Amino acid sequence: MIVIFGLMIFALSNSNNDKAPAPKVIAPYLLALFCLYFIYTFFQRAPRISMDDNTIAVKYFFKLKLYHWTEVNAVAMSSKQNYSVLLLFGQSLEATCVSFNNGEKLFIWDDMYSNTASMRQLIANNTKDKITDPAPHINTKLIFADKKTYAGNPWITFNSIIIIAMAVCFTIMFLNHPIHPEMAWFPVGCVLLFGLALGTQMNYFVLDGTSLHVKNHYFFWKNKVFDLTDINEFAIETPHKRSTSLRVITKDFQSKLFGAGSLREKNWRQLRDDITAIGIPVRADTYIGR
């Protein structure tokens, strides 16, 4: 938006027409106001937070709020909260919510801070009896002895169809209109770029003994392993304009999100039911049926 604002101002300043229509003159300045507003909103939603063993200091643009740990009423270490802009636009994002006795709330957004896990650890150390998140109680007798896979069909997903359709369209186009061999990098690059981007959302899951394996249909060498005893909670969610995903939250408050575009509702339900039976809480923030 800032770049567009600059280009519009540049175009107006170099225009030969001294009497430009009022909307054209006003538009770039309105755009500049929106830019400033969004920057202001970002720092208001994600202020600078300093914590120690006694206090929480929250620094906004024009004010500083100081809280003592004794003022904390409740803590949701992992929850979905509405991140709104202009009261009209917004999305549901993962956040830690700290509620105080005076009714105020402090949101620590996963996407806004690089050290969220460290802040959560300090919060947990000072508010152990006020955390509302359900604790895992793993029943080792129910952990599967054999592998159990939750994958779906990767080739009939929206992500795969887009990539296949692009490859087919480019192939038909160049069969009818041959191009110079040196230009072949463009369609190949487009397909590979989309494959790389969408492939990150093509994970699937395997429960194997005492571990959860995160594998990928496209990148077959990928194998992220989590010990079930190290996991505090799972969350099933649908991020904005992305595939339904599984969030893994560990006991040291690390949070990892894995898109799984090939899983259908029945796969998600089975995964939820099996993990819940083991004793690990599963939070479904998107509809997967019953």
43 — alpha (psi -120 to 50), left (phi > 0) or beta? alpha
pLDDT reading at 181 higher than 80: no
Is the pLDDT reported for residue 280 higher than 80? yes
Q: Which amino acid is at 23?
A: P
C-alpha triplet 215, 221, 227: angle, nearest 5° = 45
What is the amino acid identity at position 224? Answer: K
pLDDT tier at 108, thresholds 50, 70, 90: very high
Lowest mean pLDDT among 6-20, 22-36, 180-194: 6-20
- C-alpha to C-alpha distances, 159 to 26, 30, 200, 205, nearest whole angstrom: 41, 37, 10, 18
Q: Which range, 32-41, 128-137, 183-192, has the best average confidence (pLDDT)?
A: 128-137
- CA–CA separation, 130 and 148 (whole Å): 36
Determine the pLDDT at residue 145: 66
Residue count of the chain, please give it: 290
- pLDDT at residue number 139: 76
β-pairing, 231-237 with 282-284? parallel
The residue among 205 and 143 whose pLDDT is bigger is 205
Where does the pLDDT of residue 35 fall: very low under 50, low under 70, confident under 90, or very high at 90 and above?
A: confident
The residues with which 106 forms a beta bridge, in sequence order, are 98
At residue 76 the predicted structure's pLDDT band, cuts being 50, 70 and 90, is very high
pLDDT digits (tens, 9 = 90+) for 204-223: 999 987 899 999 999 999 99
Per cent of the chain over pLDDT 90 is: 52
Q: Of 108, 107, 98, 103, whose CA–CA distance to 130 is shortest?
A: 98
pLDDT of residue 269: 94
- Across the range 106-111, mean pLDDT stands at 93
Whether residue 283 has pLDDT greater than 80:
yes
Q: Which residues of 235-246 are buried (b: 16+ CB within 10 A; e: fewer)?
A: bbbebeeebbbb
What confidence score (pLDDT) does residue 9 get? 66
pLDDT of residue 5: 66
Residue range 111-117: average pLDDT? 92
CA 149 to chain centre: 24
20 Cβ contact list (under 8 Å, min separation 6): 12
Give the confidence band of 106 by pLDDT, cuts at 50, 70, 90.
very high
Return the higher-pLDDT residue of 212 and 88.
212
Q: Is the pLDDT of residue 143 over 70?
A: no
